Amino acid sequence: MSRQLLRLPSATEGMKIGLFGGSFDPAHEGHAHVAETALRRLQLDYVWWIPARGNPLKDTQTVFERRFASAERMASGPKMRVTDIEQRLDLSYTNTLIQRLKTAAPKAQFVWIMGGDNLATFHRWKGWTEIANSVPIAVVARPGSGARAKFSKFARRYSQYRIRDANAAAAAITAPPCWVHMRAPLNNESSTRLRGKNNKW
């Protein structure tokens, strides 16, 4: 395990790192929009894109290598990194991944990043309360997700820990549980539409 963890992107003391996980089947402009919004609004040092080895809540048929390559194409810019850490450590659940990363880089400040569409079903993730109590969560608005995200089980349970959008940068340095829902110009691209348009993407 130690040899694998040494291959992580940089995670030095005090560094603020956004963890952006997903199937990326394929990665698209909507994903890039979420990552770039989080990078800017949270004043992060880096965003790590973490393609999932597999998604227990989705029927992901595309092989990992293709999904990883699509993330590499979309994660442009010097502060974006794509890592295969979940695949190398043979992990399937975000809560386990986060604990491994915190053990490997205990002095870094990690923030979990997701689109607003994921917030509506976040309570279905294994160990979702463990995630919420382990790292700050940053949610970026996505088309059609407003009402579902606002009234999600997570949003209701953790309402007292929500940081105002205007103070979004504070989320990266606030002890969990804490979360922020960031409004942003919406990008309508989706992996489902891309797969339907061209199954070879």
Dump pLDDT digits (tens) for 102-153.
Answer: 998 899 999 999 999 899 899 999 999 999 999 999 999 987 666 778 889 9
Q: Do residues 95 and 86 lie in contact, with contact meaning Cβ atoms separated by under 8 Å?
A: no
Cis status of the peptide bond prior to 56, with omega within 30 of 0: no
Dump pLDDT digits (tens) for 46-70.
Answer: 999 999 987 766 666 689 999 999 9
Token readout for 37 is 């919004």
The CATH code of the domain at 2-196 is: 3.40.50.620
Dump pLDDT digits (tens) for 22-44.
Answer: 999 999 999 999 999 999 999 99
Q: What is the pTM of this model?
A: 0.87
pLDDT at residue 186, rounded to an integer: 65
Token readout for 27 is 């990665």
Dump pLDDT digits (tens) for 158-185.
Answer: 999 999 999 999 999 999 999 999 987 7
